[in-house]
Structure 1
């Protein structure tokens, strides 16, 4: 059995929803369901740690600095000192 939910929206969000409803030719409830599915499927459902979210990017770039992993603190401090 479907669950019914009543939500109070601020006036500006209600206007935006009604406008999107007319533009997309969909019921406001359908737009809200789609938005919830998207939010729960991508944002809330897969939060994890920040490192987990970018794991695929780690090590994918070449810095040109051979000892960056070992001396990263020194490089960061040097960069901050010079305003870079």
Structure 2
């Protein structure tokens, strides 16, 4: 990024932020759909049953743990690549 002008750097940062927001919204939408389809099966009441609530809680926690682990592995992988490039 050192070769970019300050205007180009700002533009790049804005595009990266927009992409991150878009990816987050997409991931959140995927989480919502997955957990809803997996856990909610009784449409006779407008409230969630305790079984559905428990399932949703476990589903969201598992998704968050998975995302955290994927992020950690991605960071580890990037660190390895950076080390290899510096040699």
User: Considering the TM-score relative to the shorter chain, is it more than 0.5?
Assistant: no
Structure ranking higher in helix proportion: 2
If you compute each CA radius of gyration, which structure gives the higher value, 1 or 2? 1
> Which of 1 and 2 has higher RCO (CA within 8 Å, sep 6+)?
2
